[in-house]
Amino acid sequence: LSESGVPQLVQPMIWDYAADLDVEGKVHLIEKYRRCGFSKVWFASAFKGATGVNQSLTLIGHHLKNHLQWLEVASSIPADVLEGIALTGWQRYDHFSVLCELLPVAIPSLAVCLQALKNGGYSEKIKENVEKLLGMSNLETDTFMR
């Protein structure tokens, strides 16, 4: 792979939407990419649409945990290796599936995930900031929003 010249032409993107992301495994994968000559990598996460083919509501806690674990991966690799993170919001699993989690019900999840990434973590203060930004009195991350 390193002799092909491909690592000078592209940057790999590592996709994983799991709430129990294998942090150590991702770090080892990035090390393998670096040994092949890739100097930069991207991460891909999701703020909605990645937990069930017919999911109609967004479980914010699942996506928040995924982002917090991507932050762990980022802190375990050299700072100049991560090029960025693609924060995806899937509308359906494939072209033949029903729509899942329309954007309006996922906006709180998007706000929480963006703030967690921006601040390098999540805290009660960040939760309060998201509630204020969205005009919500009680942001629920461990249950479905009412």
Domain covering 6-134 in this structure, CATH number: 3.20.20.80
Separation between Cα atoms, residue 15 and residue 86, nearest integer Å: 9
Six-digit token string for 136 = 């919500």
- Unique residue bearing structure tokens 């393998």: 32
Q: Has residue 143 got a pLDDT over 60?
A: yes
User: pTM value?
Assistant: 0.92
Report the pLDDT averaged over residues 119-133.
96
Check residue 23 and report its DSSP letter: H
CB 58 within 8 A of CB 48: yes
Average confidence (pLDDT) over 102-107: 92
Cα–Cα distance measured from residue 124 to residue 132, given in angstroms and rounded to the nearest whole number? 12
Write the pLDDT tens digit of every residue in 71-93.
999 999 999 999 999 999 998 87
